[in-house]
Amino acid sequence: MTVDLTSVFNNDGFSLPFDYEFSMSDYFSADEENPFSLIHAKGKIFNRTGIVYLSAQSEFTLTTACDRCASDIVRSMTVPSEHILVIGNEDEAENEPDYDDNRLYIPSYQLNLDDLLAEDIWLSMPVTILCSDDCKGICPSCGTNLNEETCSGKKAVDPRLEALAKLLEQ
């Protein structure tokens, strides 16, 4: 959704609320599966004493696999977004003495809200997603999910330590 910010920037105290849904499928190639449900974005863009702020929350459900045991996970998530919007070119603004990297520089009064909120979602995603904090993972030798059953197989011995393992068996 592209938003025209002309009225927000030109009117102190003006507020532009939004409440809509968008899909993350545009950010995946055709052969990749989209693990995100529709993103429900709600918030507002407002001008307070000449400074334009964006405040939003993106709610969605993520369907993926646990990074340790590969079991399916469905997790509801909420990602907050807070930005100060400035009209201008960031490359040129970096050389200015009052440059602030917390500001979001937009080249015109048109803001693609989907791209901005999708970037915030990507940046907020955890590095590892686990089914639970105490996930035991899978057995490296037999592939058994250790959360569901105990591994009955013998643990693999490092080939460099095989001679020592034979001594312990005697």
Element (DSSP H or E) covering residue 165: helix 162-169
Give the global pTM. 0.78
Task: Provide long-range contacts, Cβ within 8 A and 24+ apart, for 20-27.
Answer: 22/114, 22/117, 22/118, 24/60, 24/118, 24/121, 26/114, 27/118, 27/122
Domain boundaries, the chain: 2-134, 136-170
Residue-wise pLDDT for 115-167, tens only, equals 999 999 999 999 999 999 999 888 877 778 888 888 776 666 678 888 887 78
